[in-house]
Structure 1
Amino acid sequence: MHELAVTENILDIVRRHAEAAQAKRVLSIHLVIGELSSIVDDCIQFYFDYLSRDSVAEGAKLVFERLLVEVECGTCGYRWQPTDADWSCPSCHAMHAR
């Protein structure tokens, strides 16, 4: 259910930017979301379609891009993209991922 609050914030940001740019209409919105986020794209789109009615963003297409997680070892500085729940450093095996 947190998608509703997230979508309200997205729409607020869109409205502010549209107003600053004196835009009459917003056609698309590009959202970059980390892959570990629990955001459900379809829920965001559903709420956005509802909340944006009669606004400058009504009918805007949401484009979702997921970013891969990259962590860095706090001990040796090695960077990697974990593929499972084991976040120990593949280089030095420390448990200081950040």
Structure 2
Amino acid sequence: MHELAVTESVLEIALRHAGQVNADRVTDIYLVIGRLSSIVDDSVQFYWNIIAENTLCQNANLHFKRVPARLRCVDCQLEFEVQDSLSPCPQCGGYHINVIGGEEFYVESIIVEKEGATV
């Protein structure tokens, strides 16, 4: 259910920015989602299709870009990426790590049409 709330936020952001430029419609929205976030692309798309109906965002394409998790080893200070699951530091084997990236979720860009021109 938490995807509904974040999808509503994406819609609000897109409508606000489209309104600021007096857009006729929103055509594309690019989202960045960290590997460690609990956001499920298919759920966001499902809710989007419902809540964007009858708005400037109806039929807008959502584009999902997943970014890897970035960790820093507290023991040796190595920064490294993990793709699937958390793992020990590849340099020292330690498990004392801090997450420095991969939990993000944000709108990277929005493409709108205004009087037939793409903005």
Q: TM-score, normalised by structure 1?
A: 0.86
Q: What secondary structure, in the 3-state scheme, does the structure 2 residue paired with 1:4 have?
A: helix
When you count strand as a share of all residues, which structure comes out higher? 2
Provide closer, same or farther for how the CA distance between residues 69 and 85 of structure 1 changes in structure 2, counting only shifts above 3 A: closer
Per the alignment, residue 86 of structure 2 pairs with 85
Q: Which amino acid aligns with 2:85?
A: D
Deviations 1:20-53 (A, max 9, x none): 1221110010011011222121111111111011
Q: Which has the higher helix share?
A: 1
- SS of 1:81's equivalent in the other structure is strand
- Per the TM alignment, residue 90 of structure 1 is displaced from its structure 2 partner at its CA by 2.2
- SS of 2:69's equivalent in the other structure is coil
How many residues are paired up?
A: 97
Counterpart of 1:70 in 2: which secondary structure? strand
1:96 maps onto 2:111 in alignment: no
Q: Which runs of 5+ in 2 are unaligned?
A: 99-119
Provide the residue aligned with 2:16 in structure 1: 16
Equivalent residue, structure 2, for 1:62: 62
Partner Cα separation in structure 1 for residue 62 and residue 44 of structure 2: 9
SS in 2 for 1:6: helix
Q: More relative contact order in 1 or in 2 (CA 8 Å, sep 6+)?
A: 2
The TM-score normalised by the length of structure 2 is 0.73
